[in-house]
Structure 1
Amino acid sequence: MAALRSSLTALRSSVAALPSMAALRSAADRGYELYDRSSARLKGMMPTGLYARALLIIIAPMVVLQSVVAFMFMERHYNLVTQRLSAGVVQDIATLIEVDKVFPQDYAQLRRIAQDKLGLVVDFLPVTELPPPGPKPFFSLVDQALSEEVRKQIGRPFWIDTVGRSALLEIRIKLDNAVMRVFAPRRAAYVSNSHIFLAWMVGTSLVLITVAVLFLRNQIRPILRLADAAESFGKGREVPDFRPRGAREVRRAAVAFIEMKRRIERALEQRTAMLAGVSHDLRTILTRFKLELALIGDSPEVDAMKKDVDEMGRMLEAYLAFARGDSGEQSAPTDMGAFLDELKTDTERNGHKSSVNFHGHPIVTVRPAAFKRCLANLVSNAARHAPSISITGHRDHRWLTVTVDDDGPGIAPHLREEVFKPFLR
């Protein structure tokens, strides 16, 4: 029982030490919030175009790969070879110091051995204080390697000068009775041709990226053409020279777009033909009605019937105008300033007061007749409910905005979406 009691006590202590569920939930919420912010920031930095994203997909792994290769080369190969070469130079200097100990004051023989056998230029200076350490270069791998090897193999005061573009390195070692000054070839202490590897690596990467960009542009061009064709067709413009090109998937999408375009055009033609036929037949009947009413004579009932027939005629004209507006007319560059001035003239000819203002570049590509019917419909509706009308046009780099403003009672908020339906009264 005592053992069981002690186990329960330990378990209670462990449970008490655990964080509460509220704290865990709070930490999880903070983690999710941080993840959402990071994702949103990353999405904001990403390019939006397909071509730019494809380039990023190609270039980013290439840059990462080249960075890893360069790091591994500098870390494994360049550093290791430099350390071994520096160790060899310092070992030669240490050998000369040992020879000087065995044959002291024989400086001429020591210089000859160093020059002929080791490729070093050795000189002996009077015993003086070594120069103070000079400024070190930012990337002083040779200086570090030589200093480390001198401390390890010689263990005497020294001074090293590796700064500058000279082909020689200067090393001074303070001995008991002199200061040994050694000039060693720079290429003997470190790898002097490492930049060739990096240059080849960077140059090859640039060539491969250039070739990839050229191929990528050819692959993306059909997608851009498909997007332009879909945008032009959506704006009511003809796309006569569009043909499927590019990869198999892109050609499938282009063929699907062409088939969809044909079906939509066929449906529009059928609807237009139906509206035109029905309107023509009904107008023929209305013409007979007008003739029969004219033969009957004048009376209040006949006048009311004539008004109804005229109203039906206007409705049929609206149907015919709607049918004509969806087919046949091509888009053309139009001067919106002159276009709105002409609309103002027509409005004032009908006895309505109006004003026109236009801002921006006036040339806009529209279907002139259909666009004029649209604006004339808006102006006529405004004229029925207001004494004065203001027409304002504004053109920016992307949109043309035409505002028809009047001082009438306006449209109820719940009916504003309904006014965009055709033939709504």
Structure 2
Amino acid sequence: MSTLDTGLTLIRTAAGRVSAANGWMGNAFKSWMPTGLYARALLIMIVPMVVLQTVVAFVFMERHWNTVTRRLSAAVVQDIASLIDVYKTYPQDKDRAQLRRIGQRLQLVVDFLPVGDMPPPGPKPFFSLLDQTLSVQLGRQIARPFWIDTVGRSNLVEIRVQLDDAVMRIFAQRSAAYASNSEIFIFWMLGTSSILLIVAVLFLRNQIKPILRLADAAESFGKGREAPNFRPRGAREVRRAAQAFLEMKSRIERSIEQRTAMLAGVSHDLRTILTRFKLELELIGDSPEVDGMRKDVDEMSGMLEDYLAFARGDSGEQAQPTDMALALEELRSDAERNGHAATVAFHGLPVVTVKPASFKRCLANLVSNAA
């Protein structure tokens, strides 16, 4: 049982580590991914094309380019091996004219140098398929010291082979040992893909624009601004979304208008009642209680005016410099009139820019809640 528990514990630990690694990789992938729609669409379009081009180029290099170059190089080296066999088997005259004629028929320029005229091995090119393939074939078919130069001459390949009494120098056409037209295929493939990709990016940009305009219009409407030039454009699905947004915008505006009209009607009714209160207070006469009620009625009238201004779409009360000492003293007197004991202690600048009525209502609510 203990062994089973230990095994389960190890499995849980390993599963937790795998889950944590997956979470970390997912977060890292999300952090590397672009956030914009246009960038993500470009990524979705470009990455598969790059992967496809890479796979095609790799398969072409491996299956076609390498194979053709290997066979061409093997044929050239086979011709050189045949010349060496002829040189060793049949006696030659002093200038070896017969061997040179055979080389010309094989499209090879054959020459003979002194025994010591063999250059030391030089550095290999960083990427030269022809150099690698020729070296392999010379070592396999001739098995003699050799030296090759595939870089010095543009159209020719120089090969030197150490013989018993001389050094055979052969010049061969590069096209006879190397599939030179394969690079043209790669360039055409990359060039065509780049042009098609640019055209696709331009078309994609035109398809993304209506979605971006819809997002901007929704953001502007959410901030209370209008988007006068917005209209449904683009694909059918984008047009449906834009039309749904316009219908939703129209419904919200109608709802706001109805609530605003209701608020305006209620405010007008309350203002009528407050006007009646003012007339009745004027008929009662002067007393401290009546003065307090008048102040309350005036304050309620100001609040209703703010509501009406809001209903009309006006900006409402404006911020203005306010004497804080006087405002706090009014709050203290209102609190004492309501039967609450209050004291005022003010420190700082005497004049502060605030919305007087709103600020007074805020402090009055705090005082009433504290009482």
Does TM, normalized by the shorter one, top 0.5? yes
Equivalent runs, 1:24-173 vs 2, <5 Å: 24-106=11-93, 107-115=96-104, 117-128=105-116, 130-173=118-161
Q: 1:254 to 1:389 in 2, by over 3 A?
A: farther
- Contact 1:352–1:387 (Cα < 8 Å) also in 2: no
Instruction: Give the superposition deviation at 1:74.
Output: 0.6
Equivalent runs, 1:257-406 vs 2, <5 Å: 257-324=245-312, 327=313, 346-347=320-321, 350-352=322-324, 387-388=348-349
Q: Does 1:216 align with 2:216?
A: no
Instruction: Work out which of the residue numbers 209, 220, 244 in structure 2 matches 1:232.
Output: 220
SS in 1 for 2:154: coil
Q: Which amino acid aligns with 1:65?
A: L
Instruction: Work out which of the residue numbers 212, 230, 233 in structure 2 matches 1:245.
Output: 233
Q: Determine the C-alpha separation between the residues in 2 that align with 1:18 and 1:119.
A: 79
Instruction: Give the superposition deviation at 1:46.
Output: 0.6
- Contact 2:323–2:350 (Cα < 8 Å) also in 1: no
1:295-322: CA deviations, max 9, x gaps? Answer: 2322344333323322321221232233
Q: Which amino acid aligns with 1:77?
A: H
Instruction: Give the superposition deviation at 1:141.
Output: 1.6
Instruction: Give the superposition deviation at 1:157.
Output: 1.6
Instruction: Give the superposition deviation at 1:385.
Output: 7.7
Q: Which amino acid aligns with 1:192?
A: S
Q: Determine the C-alpha separation between the residues in 2 that align with 1:391 and 1:293.
A: 33
Aligned positions, number: 335
Q: Determine the C-alpha separation between the residues in 2 that align with 1:385 and 1:323.
A: 36
SS in 2 for 1:200: helix
Instruction: Give the superposition deviation at 1:21.
Output: 1.3
SS in 2 for 1:264: helix
Q: Which amino acid aligns with 2:349?
A: S
SS in 1 for 2:158: strand
Q: Determine the C-alpha separation between the residues in 2 that align with 1:81 and 1:386.
A: 94
1:177-227: CA deviations, max 9, x gaps? Answer: 211110111111111121210111011111111111111111100000000
Name 2:178's counterpart in structure 1: 190
RMSD of aligned Cα (Å) = 2.9
Name 2:331's counterpart in structure 1: none
Equivalent runs, 1:168-183 vs 2, <5 Å: 168-183=156-171
- Contact 2:324–2:351 (Cα < 8 Å) also in 1: no
- Contact 2:147–2:160 (Cα < 8 Å) also in 1: yes
Uncovered stretches (5+) of structure 1, i.e. residues with no partner:
1-11, 330-341, 354-383, 393-409, 416-425
- Contact 2:112–2:169 (Cα < 8 Å) also in 1: yes
Q: Which amino acid aligns with 2:247?
A: E
Q: 1:292 to 1:391 in 2, by over 3 A?
A: closer
Structure with more relative contact order (C-alpha pairs < 8 Å, separation 6 or more)? 2
Q: 1:17 to 1:189 in 2, by over 3 A?
A: farther
Q: Determine the C-alpha separation between the residues in 1 that align with 2:307 and 2:346.
A: 23
Q: Determine the C-alpha separation between the residues in 2 that align with 1:83 and 1:385.
A: 97
Instruction: Give the superposition deviation at 1:129.
Output: 6.0
SS in 1 for 2:323: coil
Q: Determine the C-alpha separation between the residues in 2 that align with 1:160 and 1:216.
A: 52
* % identical equivalent positions: 68
- Contact 1:290–1:309 (Cα < 8 Å) also in 2: yes
Q: Which amino acid aligns with 1:110?
A: L
Q: Determine the C-alpha separation between the residues in 2 that align with 1:88 and 1:260.
A: 77
Q: Which amino acid aligns with 1:251?
A: R
After TM superposition, the structure 1 stretch with the greater mean CA deviation from structure 2, 307-316 or 75-84, is 307-316
Q: Determine the C-alpha separation between the residues in 2 that align with 1:109 and 1:79.
A: 34
Q: Determine the C-alpha separation between the residues in 2 that align with 1:160 and 1:306.
A: 113
After TM superposition, the structure 1 stretch with the greater mean CA deviation from structure 2, 53-62 or 141-150, is 141-150
Q: 1:35 to 1:152 in 2, by over 3 A?
A: same
Instruction: Give the superposition deviation at 1:390.
Output: 9.9
Q: Determine the C-alpha separation between the residues in 2 that align with 1:39 and 1:301.
A: 72
- Contact 1:114–1:120 (Cα < 8 Å) also in 2: yes
- Contact 2:160–2:167 (Cα < 8 Å) also in 1: yes
Q: Which amino acid aligns with 1:306?
A: R
Q: Determine the C-alpha separation between the residues in 1 that align with 2:128 and 2:14.
A: 46
Instruction: Give the superposition deviation at 1:386.
Output: 6.7
Instruction: Give the superposition deviation at 1:114.
Output: 0.8
Instruction: Give the superposition deviation at 1:387.
Output: 4.7
TM-score normalised to the size of structure 2?
0.83
Q: Which amino acid aligns with 1:111?
A: R
Uncovered stretches (5+) of structure 2, i.e. residues with no partner:
326-344, 354-361, 367-371
